[in-house]
A and B are shown apart, each in its own frame.
Chain A
Amino acid sequence: MGLLSIIRKIKRKEKEMRILMVGLDNSGKTTIVMKINGEDTSVISPTLGFNIKTITYQKYTLNIWDVGGQRTIRSYWRNYFEQTDGLVWVVDSSDLRRLDDCKMELDNLLKEERLSGASLLILANKQDIKGALTPTEIAKVLNLEAMDKTRHWKIVGCSAYTGEGLLEGFDWLVQDIASRIYVLD
């Protein structure tokens, strides 16, 4: 029995999923996690390091790794790649100037072999801000259509401020991972 199948077996038993949240600084990763978890989002400092949240979502246990996005600590993202089932890439849809940066960092991430099996959810956050790009526009800028055909991905517009779109995104992500890893029952 290979290591992978043992891991899968253990995970199946516990119905656990490991989800990695990344994106540029100021994109709203921590706020999204807090909002999903029903916590107060009014005082959130920029993440120095990372936060782990374990939440029960539907019948699954999600281990969400929310890793800080400041340039200095982006190089540490790779320490969190191992065994990631779902990747959430958060975009600040109102930060037009840094979309190029955003695309570059995402492209680098997707080259990573350890993430090659992970389902990818792109959250076009801050849709509540007037002037934010729509998910369709973000998809064009990030050139998502050109992505590797084997990748499972979806882009969803959301607002961590109002909570809109978050459940839609996570529903898709959890279902997609479940259909890959677990036998649906």
Chain B
Amino acid sequence: MEDGNGGQNLPTKTLDSDLDPNLQKKHQSMLDRLSARHQTRLDSSLTRLDSSLTRRSDLSNSSESTSSFLSRFSDSKRSIESQLAESRQIASSDPARLKSHLDDISSSISELEKLVAENSYFLPSYEVRSSLKTISDLRQNVESLTAELVPKKKFTFKNKATAKKEPPKELEIEKSNSVSTKTSNNFVIRDSPGFRNKANEIFEKKFRGSDIGEFTLSDLDSCEVRLSGCFDALFINRLKNCRIYSGPVTGSVLIEDVEDCIFVLASHQIRIHLAKRSDFYLRVRSRPIIEDSNGVRFAPYCLEYQGIEDELEAAGLGEETGNWANVDDFKWLRAVQSPNWCLLLENERVEKVYVANLETGNEGS
């Protein structure tokens, strides 16, 4: 210390000697400050050490906080679940409040997620995983509820969105629905021919001459539909518990949102979206595809009526290509078999379906 001062003292020689004690004082205060800093550093590292020691030694304490976390977690989970259960009621009694109610649920889920994150450093990894799983399940519930309850389109059965499994996209789609109804209001689109909004009925239609074009089946519940003769395109939308038998479609068939149905179809292209628990008996020139579907089963075409062979031939569907079994699942882009569909075993298939030759069918509405 004296040495260090020596260097500094040299120039001070030229200064007045009464400044010297002053300088000494300054020097002393600096030393004091330095040692004070050192002390605080020591102190803080000690406390750090201390706290880490307590943490390590107090394992019992940590398990206790695990259990307290778990009880907090399950409390909030329960309250969120009850809120979720309420929302259905709110949707019917007070739809205006529904939006904010659902938002509240979402924010409590986020809160819960934060809780997990904050406590994750001491939680056993199993608890972290299962908590996160619970949270994502809750999210899924909210999302499907939102999709189910929020879009209030007229004349719509409510189960459309429940089958969808892409939450972020759903929001976009719903937004677009509300926006776009406006555009279609500006411009009234004529209805295409078809059977719509019916329950517990049997429909028949034979396509001839000027009838031939596209045809729509939508919003049918527990109906049977028999279509014969060639036609250009078939659109199927929102069917429940129906049986659809169709002669050859020269263009494509587009199926969306069906549940517990049986389809017997022949077409050049077949696309199946949002189908649940349904059987498809197909003759198809290209590979049929499914998307967002599950529990769907496939078998070869089995429809019979007078003249069907000629009609199939004329539509280019005379030969069995075997493509009914070559299903592409757009939600399962892997080499292993998709869990969403399977082939119908022979003993599970329906017998050949005979539909009487329909000379005069009731016209599509």
Contact = CB atoms under 8 A, between A and B. Distances in A.
A7 interface: no
B189 A46 contact: no
A143 B183 CA distance: 8
B287 interface: yes
A96 B188 CA distance: 11
B268 A42 contact: yes
A81 B191 CA distance: 35
A97 B191 CA distance: 9
Contact of A97 (B169, B218, B268, B271): B218
A48 interface: yes
A96 B187 CA distance: 12
B14 interface: no
Contacts of A126: 233, 251
Nearest to B287: A45
Interface residues of A, number: 34
A72 B214 contact: no
Interface residues of B, number: 46
A85 interface: no
B289 A46 contact: yes
B356 to A, nearest CB: 27
A130 B232 contact: yes
Interface in A129-174: 129-133, 137, 140-141, 143, 161
A1 interface: no
A115 B191 CA distance: 34
Given A45-B328, A95-B254, A100-B183, A131 B176 contact: no
Interface of A: 25-26, 42-46, 48, 70-73, 75, 94-97, 99-101, 103-104, 126, 128-133, 137, 140-141, 143, 161
Interface of B: 166, 169, 172-173, 176-177, 179-181, 183-184, 186-187, 189-193, 210, 212-214, 216, 218, 232-233, 235, 237, 251-252, 254, 268-269, 271, 273, 285-287, 289, 291-292, 316, 328, 330-331, 333
25 contacts: A25-B254, A43-B286, A44-B268, A44-B269, A45-B328, A46-B271, A46-B328, A70-B330, A73-B330, A94-B192, A94-B232, A99-B184, A100-B177, A101-B173, A101-B176, A101-B180, A103-B176, A103-B183, A104-B173, A129-B213, A130-B210, A131-B213, A133-B189, A140-B187, A161-B251
